[in-house]
Amino acid sequence: MLPEGLSQNRVPGSVWYSSAFMIVWDDMGMAKGYRPVVRDQPFLLPPDLRDWLPPGHLAWFVIDAVGALDLRRFAAGKTAAGSLAGRAAYDPAVLLGLLVYGYARGVRSSRRIERACAEDVAFRVICAQDGPDHATIARFRRAHFADAGAMADLFGQVLVLAARAGLGRLGLIAVDGTKIAASASAGANRTEKRLRELAERIVAEAEAVDAAEDELYGDARGDELPAELADPRTRKERIAAALAELEAERQAARREREDKAARERAELTAREEQLAGRIAAQQAKIEDWDRREAQKKAATGKGQRERRPLPPGSHARIQRDLRRLERAKQRAAEPEKAAGAGPAPSRNITDPHSRLMPVRGGGFIQGYNAQAVHSADGLCLGTALTRDTTDYASFEPMMAQAQAASALLRAHARGPLHRLRAKIGTALADAGYRSQANLTCPGPDRLIATGKRRDLERSARQPGTAPPPGQPDPAAEMAARLATPRGIATYRHRAPIAETPFGDIKHNRGFRRFSMRGLPRANGEWAFQNTVTNLLKIHATGWAPAQA
């Protein structure tokens, strides 16, 4: 039925317009209508948030998962009964849910989360259309990320959910580290001399302001502060903290140098005694040869067939020991030379806990060394954040966390098969974790690379290049295990297990820089990010907390 006034003559390509809709005649003379666009139509019935997202959406899972957790550590302090001050606080489940969903989607800025609560349907559903402002989100995150106990408790509760979801294949686990930038610029690093100059300047500025205020106000109080001193306290505290760390580092370095000098002196004494003993032994050989030579000539008139021993100064081993002794004496004579080499130590005045970290491919970033241990099915078992540029000191702490996670997973596993799978088999680590302590410390069975991957593969392809198993040297024994077909085949699983989660966090979710400053809060943020990773793993299984 055509609208009134529309001609029945269907001319191909002609257009008829109306205030309600438009009809276009196609080449066959058939009418094609456009869907009406009515933006001023009010809802006939109240909207239902449950209709805004499909049932399997991640937002619903986040709401259910957070609702299944014990959030007493995240509860806000309540206003005293009968008080008229303040207003009702936001439910910690809402704030935590917003952060979980935000970190899962790569939205970590509190201002972006606030904006998403008005523009993004999923965020609006999580906050039930009562979006908090960015200051509330920032305060919540700043307070709880610094609470190591709260982050550890949250991480453990999510592991329990993972166990109930059937995750946790620990036959192979892998530990690795990655460098993540701090919320600070490398240009904010200052040497001790520069830090002291800044501290002196702040004190001088404060004294100048006091003198000016005394002259201007006399005994009266002036409430106005100049703009350049709007926040002098925190800046002064950061500089003081950086100077204190440099002083502590210098004292530690001085003690280390003293210990090293004492060890070198003891080594020098031992080398001198050893060299003197070898010289005496060689001289005794010469005297014995001379005595036997004289006796044979007296008896037979002929000398000995064997050659006369070399003098001590011409003996190759004694010459080598003499060279080593000279080098040791030079090191002992110039203990400060090595300490003064290299650039002067510095600290960052924006985030004093962060350090310059070398990154793969060359260069440095101002950041932290983020550690994590993962299971074969991608579940994070433990995290840590350090200021060390190397990894080997993190091996034992990460193994301890993995064993604690294994006990938790086994205690809440679905059944006997899952409990068996949650038992740690072999831990894999690259050459950055190789040390005598890590090769021999208590803990699960391990395969720690003794060299680069290509060297390990070459040794495995060429039997006999590695020492046989059972050597007393742990490094040689580990090299022998890695050279076997089973050993190298097991070690090849390290990269997929350890490095894939880092790639997901950095490339897919864009987590390349911490939002929080200071080691405690950055450590909490790293633990939270990996907690979100575990929640995403649970969501991928299709399991829901309501099934627990």
Percent of the chain at pLDDT > 90 equals 45
Mean pLDDT of 367-396: 95
- Element holding 380 (H helix, E strand): strand 380-386
Q: Can you count the helices (H) and strands (E) in the chain?
A: 18, 11
Query: Which range (47-51, 113-117, 443-447) has the least confidence?
Result: 47-51
Give the whole-angstrom CA distance, residue 373 versus residue 401: 8
Mean pLDDT of 438-466: 85
Q: How confident is the model at residue 95 (pLDDT cuts 50, 70, 90)?
A: very high
Mean pLDDT of 539-547: 85
Q: Taking the mean position of all CA atoms in its chain, how far away is CA 205? A: 39
Q: Where are the domains of the chain?
A: 49-78+87-145, 152-185+354-547, 191-197+224-347
Q: How confident is the model at residue 89 (pLDDT cuts 50, 70, 90)?
A: confident
Q: Taking the mean position of all CA atoms in its chain, how far away is CA 19? A: 61
Q: Return the pLDDT at 148.
A: 92
Mean pLDDT (the chain) is 81
Percent of the chain at pLDDT > 70 equals 73
Give the whole-angstrom CA distance, residue 129 versus residue 124: 5
Q: Is the pLDDT of residue 209 over 60?
A: no
Say which residue, 310 or 206, is predicted with more confidence: 310
Note if the pTM is more than 0.85: no
pLDDT digits (tens, 9 = 90+) for 236-292: 666 666 667 656 666 766 677 677 767 777 777 877 888 888 888 888 888 888 888
Dihedral over alpha carbons 192, 193, 196, 201 (to 10 degrees): -140
Q: Is the pLDDT of residue 23 over 80?
A: no
- Reference 123, options 97, 87, 144; nearest CA is 97
Mean pLDDT of 101-117: 95
Residues 6+ apart with CB under 8 A from 312: 278, 279, 282, 283, 318
Give the whole-angstrom CA distance, residue 532 versus residue 519: 20
- Reference 172, options 529, 545, 486; nearest CA is 486
Query: Which range (100-109, 125-134, 182-191, 303-312) has the least confidence?
Result: 182-191
User: What would the 3-class secondary structure string for 15-42 be?
Assistant: EEECCCCEEEECCCCCEEECCCCCCCCC
Mean pLDDT of 222-229: 39
Q: How confident is the model at residue 227 (pLDDT cuts 50, 70, 90)?
A: very low
Residues 6+ apart with CB under 8 A from 87: none
Q: How confident is the model at residue 534 (pLDDT cuts 50, 70, 90)?
A: very high
Alpha-helical regions (H) of 301-315: none
Mean pLDDT of 177-201: 69
Joined together, the tokens standing for residue 270 give 């031992």
pLDDT digits (tens, 9 = 90+) for 334-349: 655 544 444 556 667 6
Mean pLDDT of 430-435: 93
Q: Is the pLDDT of residue 232 over 60?
A: no
Q: Return the pLDDT at 51.
A: 85
Q: Return the pLDDT at 225.
A: 37
Q: Return the pLDDT at 341.
A: 45
Q: Return the pLDDT at 205.
A: 55
Say which residue, 397 or 328, is predicted with more confidence: 397
Mean pLDDT of 11-38: 57
For β-strands 426-429 and 172-181, DSSP reports them as: parallel
Q: Return the pLDDT at 2.
A: 47
- Element holding 357 (H helix, E strand): strand 355-358
Q: How confident is the model at residue 86 (pLDDT cuts 50, 70, 90)?
A: low
Q: Which residues of 199-227 are buried (b: 16+ CB within 10 A; e: fewer)?
A: beebeeeeeebeeebeeeeeeeeeeeeee
Q: Return the pLDDT at 249.
A: 66
- Which burial class, exposed, middle or buried, applies to 165 when counting CB atoms under 10 A from its CB (0-12, 13-18, 19+)? buried
Q: How many C-beta neighbours within 10 Å does residue 303 have?
A: 12
Residues 6+ apart with CB under 8 A from 262: none
Say which residue, 75 or 492, is predicted with more confidence: 492
